Amino acid sequence: MSRILIIEDDKALLDLYKEEFTSEGYEVVGETKGKSALVTSRQSKFDLIILDIMLPGDMNGFEALEFLKKDVRTKDIPVIILTNLGGEEKIAYDMGVVDYLMKVDTTPGQLVQKVKKLLSQGST
């Protein structure tokens, strides 16, 4: 079973994504803040991280991504940005994300399909 860490500050949206992935057989851990998500990412092995850019308070998504990509324990985990912030795709890809999705253009079902495809490519 693949494990996914979703870092999303909107609790209702986080719950919706968790439900969608869980119903498809994924194990999902959700975090709403950047620093706590980094702690979680180091404590357990994840197959994929879905990361929002706009996070409250302590750290935004780009700062979290920078830490994830520098840490030997998390640097090879594929990261998908899922955000409402447009125009930052180049920065995100330069930092090593595998995909950059706009929330407004991506249903939870479409997100699950993208993740399935990505994880199946990685296991071949």
pLDDT digits (tens, 9 = 90+) for 87-105: 889 999 999 999 999 999 9
pLDDT in tens, 45-55: 999 999 999 99
pLDDT tens-digit map of 3-46: 999 999 999 999 999 999 999 999 999 999 999 999 999 999 99
Model pTM score: 0.94
What pLDDT is stored for residue 124 in this prediction?
38
Domains of the chain, by residue range, sit at 3-118
Sign of CA dihedral 95, 97, 98, 103: negative
- CATH label, 3-118, candidates 3.40.50.12780, 3.50.30.30, 3.40.50.300, 3.40.50.2300: 3.40.50.2300
Rounded to whole angstroms, the Cα distance separating 19 from 59 reads: 26
Q: How high is the pLDDT of residue 57? A: 79
Q: Is the pLDDT of residue 122 over 70?
A: no
For 70-82, how does the pLDDT look when each residue is reduced to its tens digit (9 = 90+)?
Answer: 999 999 999 999 9
- C-alpha angle with apex 54: 53 to 55, nearest 5 degrees? 105
Sign for the CA dihedral angle at 70, 11, 4, 29 comes to positive
pLDDT of residue 58: 79
Higher pLDDT, 58 or 111: 111
